[in-house]
Structure 1
Amino acid sequence: MTSTTAADAPRSPLASAGWASWCIAVLFGLFFAYDVFEAVGNLVGVVSQANALGGNVVPLGWAVLIGGLLLPVIAFGIAYWTGRGRRLGEQTVRFLVALCVVAAISQSVLALFGASQLTDLLA
């Protein structure tokens, strides 16, 4: 009669794919980090441009700029949280969909609001 220990038990596919799951999260994390970097650039650029022209950023402008900064972070967190414990393909699709949502919202906001609506240069 043989006894089976935890070391002898077959590993589940989810447990053996732990490192691959982290690699996927890190890879997509780099894309989301680039979106955050772009948002910081927009924030600094719009504020410095408004200050250079003798104006200021209106409250709607602050909301749009800070929202653009938080959106990739929140989307990555949701994709990571909902993808935990799932197969690698499902995790990848969740990250990809979140990245596409961030890109679509960012482009929509860019088309909807121009620099003239985010700043008040007459102040």
Structure 2
Amino acid sequence: MSADAAARPAHRAPTWLVATVAGAFGLFYAYAVWVAVGHLVTQATGVLGLNGVGWAVLGSAVVFPIVVFAAAFALGHRRRTGVLALVLLAGLGLVAVFWLNILSYSITAGASLLGG
């Protein structure tokens, strides 16, 4: 480490600002989890129920937003607030794409998920 790098103070955002940004994005991630749980319950309580693949696929839609939020927060919480917001937004985009994949799989290959 050079003397210049040691002399420069670290520019970190205040904790309250990091918590506010993470909390605001956390609400969107929580909504993704809520919708995934609702879809899982709807499919599981249907006439045919779910088989093992159905539970795994729709269960992954519940767990995935939590894992992505944790990873995005771990990557961005020590950086500037704007970078944290961008990392959380990119993670939210990833969650949205994954959710659309789950929905399209549920619609097109729904018979392979049902029948538990």
TM superposition score normalised by structure 2: 0.83
Give ranges in structure 1 of 5+ residues lacking alignment: 1-10
The answer to whether structure 1 residue 33 and structure 2 residue 26 are counterparts is: no
State whether structure 2 residue 88 is matched by structure 1 residue 95.
Answer: yes
Name the amino acid aligned to 1:116. Answer: A
2:12 to 14, 22, 42: 14
- Secondary structure, counterpart of 1:56 in structure 2: coil
Q: Corresponding residue for 2:55?
A: 62
Q: What whole-Å deviation, never above 9, does each CA across 1:77-117 have from its counterpart, x for those lacking one? A: 00011112100111001000000000001101211232323
Question: For residue 14 of structure 1, what is the amino acid of its counterpart?
Answer: R
SS at match of 1:14: coil
Cα distance in structure 2, aligned partners of 1:20 and 1:12: 16
Query: How big is the alpha-carbon RMSD for the aligned residues of Structure 1 and Structure 2?
Result: 1.7
Q: Counterpart of 2:24 in 1: which secondary structure?
A: helix
Counterpart position of 1:117: 112
5+ residue gaps, structure 2: 1-8
Sequence identity percentage: 31
Deviation at 1:58, TM superposition (A): 1.3
Report SS of the residue matched to 2:12: helix
Name the counterpart of 2:5.
none
Segments ≥4 residues shifted beyond 2 Å: 112-117
Larger radius of gyration: 1
CA displacement 1:24-70 (0-9 Å, x = unmatched): 00000000000110011011110111xxx2x2311110111110000
Aligned match of 1:78 in 71, 81, 87? 71
